[in-house]
Amino acid sequence: MSITVHTRSLLVWHVHGSWTESFVAGPHRYLLPLNANRDANGRGLRGRNWPRANEVPLSRLRDEDIDLVVLQRPEEIELATRWLGRRPGVDIPAVYVEHNTPRPSAVDSVHPVAGRDDIPLIHVTDFNRLMWNNGAAPTRVISHGIADPGHLYTGEVPAAATMINEPSRRWRTVGADLLEELSNHTPIDVWGIGTESLNGGTGKVRGKGDVGAPRLLHQVARRRVYLHTARWTSLGLSLVEAMYLGMPVVAVAATMAPLVVPAEAGVVSADVATLAYALEGFVTDLAAASAAGKAARDFAMAHFALDRFLAQWDDVIEECLG
């Protein structure tokens, strides 16, 4: 039996490009605010080819027929109220997507919508929902989902790959401080915004800069193993992408990583020496790396499918709109 999905108009900010790319792949009409500065509050599409997404200048937002506001930052509640002339959760239905681990405290941080029961709070991991103080907000988890980029892994380059944006600024949060020590055992190639700042150290860390997809994924997939060093971030889509590529994973045992990298897909540990040993092991054994990478890809396909992600969002949207 087919299920009818009603097409809705959704206001959503372009905050996290990879998440937004998956979100706007659904059947709805997606309106992205655009301001003159194209800053964080009005980036628009930023050149992305998203057929169902439309840039809407701030001056036209009040005239748009919007069904649901998708909030992702605390300030967007005020922005939507000012730009639409309607209060999210009161005058217009809204949901809040929380992408991040709690700040500033791991267990005592109160979520910005914790005092409200009129804005559902959607977490991207079970870990985040557990750790945030969600208060009265109705919560649920919708895990990441991405389109399958294909089994691109070759592992022909005997080095580790990782993807980290702004490693120098986010330093210990993303585990960038671990790269130098780990690279004394295995060369590490790092892609992402600002990664050139990692070059010039005593180890073998090689910042590759910000490379666009799909070229990025092809370059990453040539490396023997994927390294995930984050201490206190949500489950990054880059890790999920690497698993989809068919790469074995070596990951710091923090936040959600221990729950999404099964033992057959790689090594997860809080001991840096164990991580270094695991990297060396995969780099010197392509057959073992390939087998672990296949297990990683199988897990990713089973747990992070785009169709599942979009179907869960359709359920939330319909519940919000009644």
**What residues contact 232, with CB distance under 8 A and at least 6 apart?**
101, 106, 173, 254, 255
pLDDT on residue 3: 55
Mean pLDDT, residues 291-309 taken together: 98
Q: Report percent pLDDT > 90 for the chain.
A: 94
The alpha carbons of the chain give a radius of gyration, in whole angstroms, of 20
**Closest C-alpha to 289, from 253, 247, 242:** 247
E strand intervals along the chain:
9-12, 29-34, 53-57, 68-71, 94-98, 121-123, 139-141, 157-163, 188-191, 205-209, 223-228, 249-252, 266-269
Domains and CATH numbers, the chain: 9-145+305-321 (3.40.50.2000), 157-303 (3.40.50.2000)
User: How much is the pLDDT for 2?
Assistant: 45
Q: Does the model's pTM come out above 0.75?
A: yes
The residue-averaged pLDDT of 251-272 equals: 98
Q: Tokens at residue 238, please? A: 């880059």
Taking the alpha carbons at both ends of the chain, their separation in whole angstroms is 22
